[in-house]
């Protein structure tokens, strides 16, 4: 029995010590804080129910030297002075704790030493409440994203439960930037607008609301950690998005179906078929055009014009028809006038002879001439000099460099050229042979010169009338001009890159006697470079 009692006493003693020490910690911390923040000589605060006033003095002083008195409502009372050593700041304070603190009345406090008043102060005790921090702070994540539920208990104080104001401070773990929320009376708070899946630290402190009681902010509680929920896709938002997407799809489908034909026509246009123009061709005659034509000859003829392509018919003028008795055929040659401008490059390589050129039936005669020339080559320069103003030919750009290339066509060009000039020297122009030869050569040269391609699709030499022996053909590219010239033009093979194919044919003079008169004037119209 005695042993049990002693044990109980020990337990009670230990608990009391613990309680006092905890209370003392609070007391010391409050004293330390006010010592830092309060500027008055006598610093006072109320802890729970009793007012404590303290002041800082030199270390050598003793508490007994001081007299602490307080008066209210015409009553004067004394208080026992005690000393306290603050371990943290290494300071000593003297304090007095009023045993029965009168509230809601004016207190006059005085501190004197050796009957000499040191400090005095007039205050109302209820205005200096210094509460303990809130208890049992808990932080829980709410069911929603970015929210935390914070709750706590007010400090133990009897009369002030409904007149307390709280301050909640929260910050991300590891961050110093915190936010503060103020809340009155209520002891729980929902923090909003937080980041999801993040750890937060939360602190709380309390103060009287200032209506009935006033005081200092309490110390912050120990921080409590809370974790917010990870972000999730809100099912409502997902449903709404799906719903709206479905509605949009339906609308677009409706629009597409209602304008199906129009859209198909735009995206997948029908290949035009000529069935409309040829009624019955494909259905009745199954594509047999002959049959169809024979049946619908009269009625369809008028319409055929529309069927043809939109190309304008190119004016074609036959310059000459030479009936060659020895060769027995009259040729109808198409010659394309060729024009060239020195300013413009005609670098287009000879792409070969146009297909429209017919093989002259006198090819073998031409070859004989070529062979003759080959055996007796004459200097080119002589041959090139215009001995007559009547006939000369300018050759294309392939004839470059030193003169005669090894290209056969160039060689072919040169040989007939020589032949041309020789025949031009004869006064008589009526020799059929020469004419023929020249014609042949001209044809050849014309053929050859037609190799040169020039880029003047739109520039055609307009026909000047029957007196002008030239032919103008308006087509895509090549144009040749055979206008007779009287002016001297130096044409040298291989000397210039650009040539004007100004072909002048005696035959033209022969054919159109007036052409001689026109030659001079015609030469004025000759195009091409004048060297």
Partner 1 sequence: MFHGSGLFAVLLMVLEWTRPGLSSPLRPICDLRVLDHFIKEAWDAEAAMRACKDACSIATNFTVPLTRVDFDVWEAMNIEEKAQEVQSGLHVLNEAIGSLQASNQSYVLQSHVDASISNIASIRQVLRSVSIPEYVPPASGGEDEETQKVSSISELFQVHSNFLRGKVRHLLASAPVCKQGVS
Residues making contact with partner 1 (CB under 8 A): 49, 72-74, 100-106, 124, 126, 158-159, 162-163, 211-212
Closest C-alpha to 167, from 179, 155, 149: 179
Q: Rounded to whole angstroms, how far apart are CA atoms 467 and 259?
A: 65
By CB atoms closer than 10 A (0-12, 13-18, 19+), residue 63 is middle
CA 499 centroid distance within chain: 52
Cβ closest to partner 1, residue 105 vs residue 314: 105
Q: Are strands 43-47 and 50-56 parallel, antiparallel or unpaired?
A: antiparallel
Cβ closest to partner 1, residue 166 vs residue 170: 166
Closest C-alpha to 483, from 501, 465, 469: 469
Nearest distance from C-beta of residue 173 to partner 1, angstroms:
38
Nearest distance from C-beta of residue 95 to partner 1, angstroms:
21
Instruction: Give the DSSP H/E element, type plus range, for residue 24.
Output: helix 2-37
Nearest distance from C-beta of residue 27 to partner 1, angstroms:
19
Nearest distance from C-beta of residue 163 to partner 1, angstroms:
8
381-388 own/partner pairs: CB under 8 Å, 24+ apart: 381/492, 383/414, 383/417, 383/418, 383/421, 384/417, 384/490, 384/491, 384/492, 384/493, 385/490, 386/488, 386/489, 386/490, 386/491, 387/421, 387/424, 387/425, 388/421, 388/424, 388/425
Q: Rounded to whole angstroms, how far apart are CA atoms 4 and 275?
A: 124
Strand partners, 51: 46
Contact 471/451 with Cβ under 8 angstroms?
no
Nearest distance from C-beta of residue 101 to partner 1, angstroms:
8
Nearest distance from C-beta of residue 1 to partner 1, angstroms:
37
Nearest distance from C-beta of residue 186 to partner 1, angstroms:
14
Cβ closest to partner 1, residue 105 vs residue 374: 105
Q: Around 394, how many Cα atoms within 13 Å sit in the side-chain half-sphere?
A: 33
Cβ closest to partner 1, residue 62 vs residue 212: 212
Q: Rounded to whole angstroms, how far apart are CA atoms 394 and 186?
A: 112
Contact 307/314 with Cβ under 8 angstroms?
no
Nearest distance from C-beta of residue 73 to partner 1, angstroms:
6
Cβ closest to partner 1, residue 72 vs residue 456: 72
Cβ closest to partner 1, residue 100 vs residue 286: 100
Nearest distance from C-beta of residue 119 to partner 1, angstroms:
23
Cβ closest to partner 1, residue 104 vs residue 289: 104
Cβ closest to partner 1, residue 153 vs residue 192: 153
Task: Quote the Cα angle for 349-387-397, to 5°.
Answer: 10
Cβ closest to partner 1, residue 89 vs residue 105: 105
């Amino acid at each position: 029995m005695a042993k049990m009692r002693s044990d109980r006493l020990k337990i009670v003693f230990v608990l009391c010590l613990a309680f006092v020490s905890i209370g003392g910690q609070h007391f010391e911390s409050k004293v330390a804080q006010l010592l830092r923040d309060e500027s008055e000589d006598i610093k006072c605060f109320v802890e729970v129910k009793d007012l404590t006033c303290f002041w800082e003095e030199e270390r050598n002083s003793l508490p007994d030297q001081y007299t602490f008195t307080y008066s209210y409502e015409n009553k004067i009372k004394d208080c026992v002075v005690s000393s306290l050593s603050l371990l943290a700041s290494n300071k000593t304070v003297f304090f007095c704790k009023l045993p029965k603190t009168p509230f809601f009345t004016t207190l006059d406090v005085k501190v004197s030493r050796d009957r000499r008043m040191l400090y005095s102060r007039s205050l109302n005790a209820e205005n200096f409440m210094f509460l303990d921090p809130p208890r049992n702070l808990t932080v829980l994540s709410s069911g929603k994203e970015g929210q935390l539920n914070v709750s706590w208990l007010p400090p133990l104080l009897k009369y002030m439960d409904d007149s307390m104001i709280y301050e909640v401070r929260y910050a991300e773990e590891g961050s110093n930037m915190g936010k503060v929320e103020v809340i009155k009376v209520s002891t729980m708070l929902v923090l909003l607008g937080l980041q999801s899946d993040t750890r937060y630290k939360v602190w709380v402190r309390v103060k009287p609301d200032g209506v009935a009681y006033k005081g200092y902010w309490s110390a912050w509680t120990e921080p409590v950690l809370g974790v917010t929920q990870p972000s999730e896709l809100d099912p409502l938002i997902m449903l709404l998005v799906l719903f709206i997407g479905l509605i949009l799809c339906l609308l677009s489908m409706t629009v597409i179906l209602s304008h199906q034909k129009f859209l198909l026509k735009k995206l997948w246009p029908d290949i035009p078929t000529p069935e409309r123009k040829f009624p019955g061709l494909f259905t009745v005659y199954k594509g047999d055009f002959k049959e169809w034509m024979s049946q619908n000859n009269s009625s369809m003829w008028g319409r055929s014009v529309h069927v043809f392509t939109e190309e304008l018919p190119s004016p074609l003028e036959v310059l000459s028809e030479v009936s060659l008795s020895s060769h027995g055929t009259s040729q109808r040659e198409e010659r394309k006038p060729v024009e060239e401008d020195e300013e413009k490059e005609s670098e287009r390589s000879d792409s070969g002879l146009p297909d429209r050129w017919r093989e002259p039936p006198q090819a073998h005669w031409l070859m004989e001439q070529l062979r003759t020339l080959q055996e007796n080559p004459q200097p080119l320069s002589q041959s090139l000099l215009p001995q007559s103003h009547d006939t000369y030919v300018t050759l294309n750009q392939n004839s470059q460099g030193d003169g005669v290339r090894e290209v056969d066509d160039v060689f072919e060009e040169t040989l007939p050229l020589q032949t041309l000039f020789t025949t031009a020297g004869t006064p008589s122009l009526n020799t059929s042979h020469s004419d023929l030869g020249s014609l042949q050569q001209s044809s050849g040269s014309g053929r050859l010169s037609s190799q040169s391609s020039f880029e003047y699709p739109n520039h055609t030499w307009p026909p000047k009338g029957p007196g002008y022996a030239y032919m103008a053909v308006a087509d895509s590219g090549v144009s040749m001009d055979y206008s007779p010239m009287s002016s001297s033009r130096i044409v040298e093979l291989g000397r210039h890159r650009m040539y004007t194919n100004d072909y002048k044919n005696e035959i033209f003079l022969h054919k159109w006697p007036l052409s001689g008169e026109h030659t001079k004037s015609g030469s004025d119209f000759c195009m091409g470079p004048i060297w």
